[in-house]
Amino acid sequence: MEHPRSGPAPHLEEHRHPPHSGGSRRCGRASRAPVGRWSRHPRAAGIAEGGPVVDSSVRGARSRRHPHRIRHPPVTALTPEQGANLADWFGRSVVGVEARTGGLSWDVFTVAFDDGERAVVKRAPPYGTIDPYDVHKEVAVHLAAATAGIPVPDLLGACDDPDLIGQPFFAMAHVDADFPHLAHLEDWPVWQTEAGRRRAAEQIVDVMGKLHRLDWASAGLPELVTGPPGASGAELMAGLVNRWIGNVERDVYSRWAPVPILRDAARFLLDHAPEMPDAPPVLSHGDFRIGNLAFRGDELVAVLDWERAAVGPPLLDLGFFCHPLSRRRQPELMGMLETWDELAALYAAATGAEPDPKWVHYCIIYWIFVESAVVPRGLALTVEGKMRSWPAFTQIPLNTENLAHHLDAWEAGDTTWIEQAL
Residue 359: closest CA among 400, 299, 316: 316
Min mean pLDDT across 239-253, 336-350, 387-401 is at: 387-401
Residue 62: closest CA among 395, 388, 398: 388
CA 118-13-149 angle, to 5 degrees, is: 65
CA distances from 141 to 31, 65, 153, 260, 291 (A): 19, 28, 12, 34, 19
Domain boundaries of the chain, sorted by first residue? 12-173, 182-418
Min mean pLDDT across 88-97, 138-147, 230-239, 413-422 is at: 413-422
- Percent of the chain exceeding pLDDT 70 equals 78
Q: Does the global pTM surpass 0.85?
A: no
Whole-angstrom Cα distance, residue 320 to residue 248? 21
- Averaged pLDDT score across all residues of the chain: 81
Which neighbouring-strand residues pair with 172? Answer: 120, 155
Whole-angstrom Cα distance, residue 78 to residue 41? 15
| Mean per-residue pLDDT, 332-348 | 97
Whole-angstrom Cα distance, residue 311 to residue 285? 9
Longest dimension (CA), the chain: 67
- Taking each helix axis from N to C end, the angle separating 357-380 and 261-272, rounded to the nearest 10 degrees, works out to 150
Which of residues 289 and 13 earns the better pLDDT score? 289
Q: What is the CATH number of domain 182-418?
A: 3.90.1200.10
Whole-angstrom Cα distance, residue 6 to residue 158? 20
Residue 378: closest CA among 23, 19, 103: 103
Kindly report, residue by residue over 234-291, the tens digit of the pLDDT: 999 999 999 999 988 888 887 777 788 999 999 999 999 999 999 999 999 999 999 9
Q: With beta carbons less than 8 A apart as the criterion, state whether 172 and 306 touch.
A: no
